[in-house]
Amino acid sequence: MKLKTALLGAACALSFAPAAFADRGTDGEVKFTFPQAVSIMNPFLSSGTKDVYAASLVLEPLAGFDADGVIIPKLVTEIPTLENGGISADLTSITWKLLPDLKWSDGSPVTADDAVFTAAYCMDPAGGCAQLSKFDGVAKVEAVDASTVKVTFTGPKPNPYTAFVGALSPILQKAQFAACQGAAAPTCTDPNNMPIGTGPFKVTGFTVNDTVTLAMNENYRDPAKPAFASAVIKGGGDAEGSARAVMETGEFDYAWNTQIPPDSQASMTAAGKGEFVVAFGTLVERIEMNMTDPDPALPEGERATAKHPHPILSDIKVRTALSKAIDRQILSDVGYGAGGKPTCNVVPAPDAWASDNTGCIAQDMEGAKKLLDEAGWVPGADGIREKDGKKLHILYQSTVNPIRQDFQALVKDWWTELGVDVELKAIDPSVFFGGDAGSPDTFQKFYADVEMYANNSDGTDPETYLSQYQCVNAPSPENQWQGENMNRYCDPAYDAKVKVLTTTVDVAERQKIAKELNDMVTKDSMTVIPLVHRGTLSAHSNTLGGVKINAWDSEMWNVADWFRVK
Amino acid sequence: MLTFTLRRLLLAIPTLFVISLVIFLLVDLAPGSPMSEIPLTVPPDVRRKMIEALGADQPVFVRYVLWLRQFFWVEPATLFDGWFGTNWAGGEQRILSWQSRAPVFTIIGQRIPQTLTVIGTAYLVGILIALPIGIYSAYRQYSLFDQLGTLFAMIGFSVPTFFSGTLIIIIFAVTLGWFPTKYDTNLHVTDWASFVKQLQQMAMPVMTLGLANAAVISRYMRSSMLDNMGMDYVRTARAKGMSERVVVLKHVLRNSMIPVVTVIALGIPSIFGGAIITENLFGVNGIGAALIGAIHASDLPMVQTLAFIFAVLIVSFNLIADVLYGLLDPRIRYD
Amino acid sequence: MFDAATAPLVQVDGLKMYFPIYSGILRRHTGNVKAVDGVSFDIQAGETLGLVGESGCGKSTVGRALLRLYEPTAGAVVIEGEDIAKLTPEALRRKRPTMQMVFQDPQASLNPRMTLADIISEPLIEHTNWNADRRLERVYELMDAVGLNRRFANRFPHEFSGGQRQRIGIARALALNPKFIVCDEPIAALDVSIQAQVVNLLEDLQEKLGLTYLFISHDLSMVRHIADRVAVMYLGRIAELSPRDALFAKPLHPYAEALLSAVNEPDPSLARRPRIILKGDVPSPARPPKGCNFSTRCPKAFARCHEEKPELQEVEPGRHVACFLYASQTGSTGTLEAKEHIQQGEYK
């Protein structure tokens, strides 16, 4: 609550104090610190947020998202819609009109060819483009004229704002990257580290995994911006050190990703040099239920596959009881402080897309016990519930991470109180998320009863995200254990609804369907137990004005508007 | 001595080959994959293509041979070309970091200066503090000074740098505001003001590491001095009527330095190795930070190359320490 | 041999050397190792005093304390009229040339990182104002004197054999023309074949240079060969101090008697004395017995021996013994012999 008020206050101060805006380059240097250093300035070759955010100071997409997740034009005159004719009636193409007189930082004009090239660059099969999914369903990108880009899709595309939209899909300069397409992409060290862009800043120096120095772009489209003459991004260290450098010593203006324990947050805020801001995107820490039997006695190839339903968790009463026993508010407070809030949704934001499902927030231990009794699991002599001589035993895995281990311990206490015998397991994150089909410990193989990790939807529209829970996406030996439906949740009704979503154009209707899908995997089936809606905690100095935290695009989406508070 | 050195150098070649293979296999077998760094929002087929573009899907043997070729031919040739404008490398692929797609040796080149400056200074400061403490502690064994020296060494030994470093930050940066907490790698010393700035930003990491280094070396110095202090030749020197200064600084110290110099020489590769925790804590971003970053990101070419360079340095400095020993101690001859 | 008219070169009076023992967490001073506990003797100029005893009896400590290589706990060491034990460090340093030491282990006593020439000339730099040529000349002189080839001047100690090293040690000791030399087991670390050479060298040098020796050794036959008088030590105290011949002919102190019974008699015509085997171990010098230090093992001990410590007394001209057997009489040999017979009978 406090944070929201603070944010509102900052926004008000901004709108009432236009005098605070200086001319271009009059406010000196703005200093960023990232706990993970920047490796590369080309978002197409890196999926690391640190790299994408750093690049967003330089490279820009045609359109981006504002703090509320609403699409806004950046390099184009307006957002193409069905109404203005920018999107074809059959939903198979979208046409963007570039701003007139747009220039790269080297002074050359930005043309539609640059966008065409960017698409070709990312879609090259040998390039290993990290943002290839942004070009999903794109049939061709063409330059209608020098300032008009037309993207044609293979079929109707209800959400065409993927290619060239958001910090993950910026426009590269064709002249600079022409020789870097395909297999040559990774070897173009200089362009990758010092790309020429249209953003408010240009790169003047780059040391890998250390420092990026930037100067204002003389050719930026708004002659009054940016207020800062230069910028520097220093990387490395840890979240604590980054936060300290802003909040306690005041050496830096902005620290991204300063997720530190709640008590440290409070003591650093007390120093009075800066404030923490939280970007609540769609990241949800959740417990996923395994709907298949991970019993090691089963033959390899059948273990944890749809052939063998889970002997305990197949019963919705058990799943519901496990969810009811959890106090999400405590988890959020202990783990994330201001950087988290309890949730019952897999799609927790934006508000328009989030279900009003809050039934799980209040802990209900008695209700949970009753459910287990009903399900036939009765307490045995040792306090552990049994049914047909079988103990209620659950293997609960997650990654090695202090907060997750705290969560595991807390949840284990609650479940033990419920009469469940809980076994904990923590796996190295690089193994857990590594996707090695040969390892038994990947989150896809899911050789456990429940597992906990965090996942999010990419952008505001959760279509792709929700479609992960279709039957066909279950990891199995047939697809080398790839696939995002970790639970092996399989409901034909869900698959059918996803199909409807992919063809629905009307946003309100899409939002309604998304909420229904969200409810199906959460409160209706209890396949996924969302725990905490996690934000990205960042810190900025009190002397830095204009910051509007944004979870839907780069946090530096409006860096051109930032200024020094005097 | 020369034949000994040559023989050892020859012997080092197969040793290093074996080491390189072992490192490669260990790094490769270690759990984790570059995929784990890719966000979950990236679909599996895109991930697979990214891995293919890195060449990470090739069999380990192929990658090892490629790496050998790159390390022993392409990289030296590129270096040579850079100096003399020749074209030996012929534009062949250099060793590229998977994480940043930049040549590994370029990254190392960027990082060596701050590592050598900061870690090297810390080592030097550590030695300069340690020697007098060790000498005087031994000379006045069990005195108050010796007890304080022991306490100092115990603290330096047992307090981990992440703790002492944080403490130093809180005292000197947060409370006193004397020093910056983040090292500015772009600072170039051109005049007095920038030199002062450089000293300020080096102060805290040097303190942190200097304490740890001084602790270790002062103990070696002290025990070596004690070993020699009781020797008959020291008694001889006293009997000769030499002054205490000559007895301690000439007779005892010179003999005590032999093992200490060896220890110091053997510690030098660790300067190049950087200090993983301290570098991270103060944002020095030297070799140590590069290594830990590469390990986190499963950046195999980077980890492999750094680990192998450390192996080369360790083997070399072992040889140097042996040769030094021979030079310093006339009793030792390698024939 | 004994000329009372001239003052002795070295006078030792009540010399005590205690090494403190610290123990416990706080390292409190809890006791002392009484390595030397009240030793007195004189050495005449030109004389060789032998100091014998088992390992650990404190004889080397006496040698070192004498030259103040240890700080004596108590007592006086007067050499040429100056009390060494009370000199200031600087005065002591200036006094050093007068008194020197030859150490037991020639390997350990030479600085391994210095050449022979450096080792010998170092004291010359300190105590003379000679130039380098003059010093080198002296080094050569000394090398000749101890029988070392001049070519070896720039070699390091480890390049020499044991005997040669001991010659270096002697040359070094001689460098400043000392009057008094403590020879601390100078031959113990050498091969038997070399021992005689070194002892002969020491004797020759004594003759040529008029040196005074304190010859510390556990090798009784060597002491018999070189010493004029001999002091027998047991557990930090002198048991007997007698002229050589008298001692070897007829030791008075029961400990000296036991010790000498172990010596091979070189003259086969003389009857070999029966060997006296002592029982028990030497007590710890940190906790010596209440009475006579030898009382725990003495075959002739009686009640008084366990109560009081006997002082060294002259019981025959030139013969000093610390034993209550001789406390009340001044040498009735008959009684002594009678007693001896009984003892031998008992201990056969």
Neighbours of chain C (3+ CB pairs under 8 A): B
Q: Report chain B's C-alpha Rg in angstroms.
A: 24
pLDDT for the residue numbered A420:
93
**How many CB atoms lie under 10 A from the CB of residue A194?**
19
pLDDT at A347 over 90: yes
Cβ–Cβ below 8 Å for B241 and C123:
yes
Cβ–Cβ below 8 Å for B182 and A435:
no
pLDDT for the residue numbered C269:
61
Distance from CA of C303 to the nearest CA of B (A): 42
Token representation of residue B142: 């069990």
d(CA A392, CA C331): 103
Residues of chain B positioned with their CB less than 8 A from the CB of A209: 99-100, 107, 285, 289-290, 293
pLDDT for the residue numbered A103:
93
d(CA B291, CA B294): 5
β-sheet bridge partners, residue A285: A454, A532
pLDDT at A332 over 70: yes
Confidence band, pLDDT 50/70/90 cuts, at residue A22: low
Interface of chain B toward chain C, CB-CB under 8 angstroms: 142, 231-233, 235-244, 246, 251, 254-255, 328-331
Confidence band, pLDDT 50/70/90 cuts, at residue C345: very low
Per-residue pLDDT tens digits for A103-162: 999 999 999 999 999 999 999 888 778 888 888 889 999 999 999 999 999 988 888 898
pLDDT for the residue numbered B254:
85
**Average pLDDT value for residue range A47-58:** 89
Q: Is A312 exposed, middle or buried (0-12, 13-18, 19+ CB in 10 A)?
A: buried
Q: Is the dihedral of CA C82, C85, C91, C95 positive or negative?
A: positive
Cβ–Cβ below 8 Å for C123 and B231:
no
Q: Which residues in chain B are classed under CATH 1.10.3720.10?
A: 108-296
A130, A132, A238 member nearest B280 (Cβ): A238
Cβ–Cβ below 8 Å for C67 and B142:
no
Calculate what percentage of chain A has a pLDDT beyond 90.
56
**Average pLDDT value for residue range C21-44:** 85
pLDDT for the residue numbered A277:
92
pLDDT for the residue numbered A30:
94
Query: From the candidates C79, C102, C104, C109, which should be mutated to test the interface with B, based on the most B CB atoms within 10 A?
Result: C109
| SS3 of residue C22 by DSSP | strand
d(CA A252, CA A538): 12
Residue of chain B with shortest Cα separation from A211: B185
pLDDT for the residue numbered C265:
63
Distance from CA of B71 to the nearest CA of C (A): 43
A47, A208, A213 member nearest B42 (Cβ): A47
* pLDDT tens, chain B, 335 aa long: 778 888 888 888 898 889 889 988 888 887 767 766 677 777 777 777 777 777 777 888 888 888 888 888 888 888 888 888 777 777 777 888 887 778 888 888 888 888 888 888 989 999 999 998 988 888 888 888 988 988 888 888 888 888 888 899 889 988 888 998 888 888 888 888 889 988 898 899 898 888 888 888 898 899 888 888 888 888 888 888 788 888 888 888 888 888 888 888 888 888 777 678 888 888 888 888 888 888 887 888 888 888 888 888 888 888 888 888 888 887 777 66
Residues of chain B positioned with their CB less than 8 A from the CB of C22: 142
Torsion of CA C161, C167, C173, C176, to 10 degrees: -120
d(CA A550, CA A420): 41
B46, B101, B289 member nearest A189 (Cβ): B101
Residues of chain B positioned with their CB less than 8 A from the CB of A47: 37-39, 42
Query: From the candidates A53, A136, A210, which should be mutated to test the interface with B, based on the most B CB atoms within 10 A?
Result: A210
Confidence band, pLDDT 50/70/90 cuts, at residue A494: very high
pLDDT for the residue numbered C340:
43
Distance from CA of B151 to the nearest CA of C (A): 15
pLDDT for the residue numbered C285:
84
Cβ–Cβ below 8 Å for B244 and C172:
no
Residues of chain B positioned with their CB less than 8 A from the CB of C64: 235
- For chains A and B, count residue pairs whose Cβ atoms are closer than 8 Å: 179
Cβ–Cβ below 8 Å for C158 and B241:
no
- For chains B and C, count residue pairs whose Cβ atoms are closer than 8 Å: 72
Token representation of residue B108: 């190392």
- Taking the domain B108-296, which CATH number applies? 1.10.3720.10
pLDDT for the residue numbered A220:
93
d(CA C293, CA C273): 25
Residue of chain A with shortest Cα separation from B298: A430
Cβ–Cβ below 8 Å for B237 and C111:
yes
Per-residue pLDDT tens digits for A283-294: 999 999 999 999
Q: Which helix (H) or strand (E) holds B78?
A: helix B75-84
Cβ–Cβ below 8 Å for B285 and A232:
no
B235, B243, B255 member nearest C113 (Cβ): B255
pLDDT for the residue numbered A522:
93
Per-residue pLDDT tens digits for B234-266: 888 888 878 888 888 888 888 888 888 888 888
Closest CA to A512 of A458, A459, A457, A462: A462
Q: How far is CA C125 from the centre of its chain?
A: 29
Neighbours of chain B (3+ CB pairs under 8 A): A, C
pLDDT for the residue numbered C24:
76
Contact criterion met (CB below 8 Å) for C248 and C227:
no
Q: Is A543 part of the contact surface with chain B (CB cutoff 8 Å)? A: no
Per-residue pLDDT tens digits for C160-176: 888 888 888 888 888 88
pLDDT for the residue numbered A18:
43
41-70 in B: which are within 8 Å (CB) of A? Answer: 41-44, 46-54
Token representation of residue A73: 């034009």
Q: Is the dihedral of CA C171, C172, C173, C178 positive or negative?
A: positive
Q: Is A267 part of the contact surface with chain B (CB cutoff 8 Å)? A: no
B236, B243, B328 member nearest C93 (Cβ): B243
Q: Which residues of C319-335 are buried (b: 16+ CB within 10 A; e: fewer)?
A: bbbbbbbbeeeeeeeee
pLDDT at C330 over 80: no
pLDDT at A264 over 80: yes
Q: Is C108 part of the contact surface with chain B (CB cutoff 8 Å)? A: yes
Per-residue pLDDT tens digits for C110-163: 888 889 888 888 888 888 888 889 999 999 988 988 888 889 888 888 888 888
Are C and A neighbours with ≥3 CB pairs closer than 8 A? Answer: no
Cβ–Cβ below 8 Å for A434 and B296:
no
- The amino acid sitting at A192 is N
**Average pLDDT value for residue range A349-365:** 90
Query: From the candidates B29, B278, B285, B298, which should be mutated to test the interface with A, based on the most A CB atoms within 10 A?
Result: B285
Cβ–Cβ below 8 Å for B236 and C101:
yes
Query: From the candidates B143, B240, B335, which should be mutated to test the interface with C, based on the most C CB atoms within 10 A?
Result: B240
**Average pLDDT value for residue range C25-46:** 86
pLDDT for the residue numbered A396:
95
pLDDT at A416 over 80: yes
Question: Residue C341: which residues within 8 A CB-CB, separation 6 or more?
Answer: none
Question: Residue B162: which residues within 8 A CB-CB, separation 6 or more?
Answer: B277, B281
- ipTM score of the complex? 0.79
283-312 in B: which are within 8 Å (CB) of A? Answer: 283, 285, 289-290, 293, 296-298
Cβ–Cβ below 8 Å for B239 and C96:
yes
Using the structure block, give the residue that is written with the tokens 């050598």: B116
Contact criterion met (CB below 8 Å) for C345 and C325:
no
Q: Is B96 part of the contact surface with chain A (CB cutoff 8 Å)? A: yes
pLDDT at A3 over 60: no
Closest CA to A273 of A255, A293, A292: A255
**Average pLDDT value for residue range A248-257:** 91
Cβ–Cβ below 8 Å for B328 and C96:
no
- Per the confidence metrics, is the pTM higher than 0.80? no
Distance from CA of B315 to the nearest CA of A (A): 28
Distance from CA of B63 to the nearest CA of A (A): 17
Q: Which segment, A3-17, A193-207, B291-305, is predicted with the most confidence on average? A: A193-207
Cβ–Cβ below 8 Å for C69 and B142:
no
Neighbours of chain A (3+ CB pairs under 8 A): B
Q: Is A431 part of the contact surface with chain B (CB cutoff 8 Å)? A: yes
Calculate what percentage of chain C has a pLDDT beyond 70.
89
Q: Mean pLDDT over all residues of chain A?
A: 88
The beta strands (E) that lie in A249-314 are given as: 254-255, 274-289
| SS3 of residue C302 by DSSP | coil
**Average pLDDT value for residue range A69-86:** 91
